[in-house]
Amino acid sequence: MVVQKIRVFLNQQASQGAERDWKKLIRERLFRSELEFVSPTSHQAFLEEIDRATRDQIDVIVSVGGDGTIHELIQKLADQKITFLVLPAGTANDFARSLGVQKMRISDLLSIVREGVPKEIDLIELNGKLMATNGGIGVVAQIANRVNHLRRTVPGFKKLMTYGKQETYGILLASKILFEGCDYFELKVQCDQFNGFPWILSYS
- The CA-based dihedral angle spanning residues 85, 90, 96, 98, taken in that order and rounded to the nearest 10 degrees: -150
| Residue 18 φ/ψ, nearest 5 degrees | -110, 5
Q: What is the pTM of this model?
A: 0.75
Residues of the chain with CATH 3.40.50.10330: 5-131
Contact 18, 12 (CB under 8 A): yes
What's the start-to-end Cα distance of the chain, in Å?
59
- Using DSSP's 3-state secondary structure scheme, residue 61 falls into strand
Burial of 79 by CB count in 10 Å (0-12 exposed, 13-18 middle, 19+ buried)?
exposed
Cβ neighbours, 10 Å, residue 99: 16
Amino acid letter for position 36: E
The confidence score (pLDDT) of residue 115 equals: 86
Name beta bridge partners: 185. Answer: 203
What kind of architecture, by CATH, is found in domain 5-131?
A: 3-Layer(aba) Sandwich (3.40)
Spatial distance between the Cα atoms of 9 and 55, rounded to a whole number of angstroms: 16
Q: ∠ CA 25-122-75 to the nearest 5 degrees?
A: 65
Can you give the pLDDT of all 204 residues of the chain as single tens digits? 578 999 999 987 766 656 678 999 999 999 999 999 999 989 899 999 999 999 999 999 999 998 889 989 999 888 888 899 999 988 778 899 888 888 899 999 999 988 888 888 888 888 888 988 877 778 888 888 898 889 889 988 877 877 787 888 889 989 988 888 877 777 666 666 655 555 544 444
The confidence score (pLDDT) of residue 102 equals: 86
Spatial distance between the Cα atoms of 139 and 146, rounded to a whole number of angstroms: 10
